[in-house]
Amino acid sequence: MALKRIRPSLAILEPIGGTELLQKILNSAVQPEAPNSIAIFFAGLEKAEVAALSQILKRRPIEGSVCAEYWTKLALAELHSRRRRLLSVVRLSEESTGERSTSLAEINEIDDLEQIIALAQSAWKTSLN
């Protein structure tokens, strides 16, 4: 259920090189408890992607908190970077109200995403205790 809420915000991964396989995983209908689902997902991957994913899966599992912390930091860093770029656009586009309002709307969207991340982090930390 939580993944469905995250999917619209996966757009932040698009400009980040090296996240293509992660995007495929997160956008897939894979159900880890269903072997057929996993087999279908693997069948749709390129050979290099299958090899990379196989290497990752055969390693000792990483603790969930480490993964969550890494991806949260990555997402927040991208959001902060976009906010800085948009604030520059807002400052430079004082006369162009259309561009300014579009940038301000995207800044509001970033604020919403940051709130969702903060709530998810809080809920996740509470569930660990």
Going residue by residue through the chain (129 aa), what tens digit of pLDDT does each one get?
344 445 555 677 777 777 788 888 888 888 877 888 888 888 888 998 888 888 777 765 556 566 677 777 888 888 888 889 888 888 887 777 888 888 888 898 888 888 888 887 777 777 666
Burial code (b: 16+ CB inside 10 Å, e: under 16) for 67-105 equals eeeebeeebbebbeebbeebeebbeeeeeeeeebeebee
User: Residue 7: its pLDDT value, please?
Assistant: 55
Cβ-contact 110, 82 below 8 angstroms: yes
pLDDT in tens, 86-101: 888 888 877 778 888 8
CA atoms of 6 and 9, how far apart (whole Å)? 6
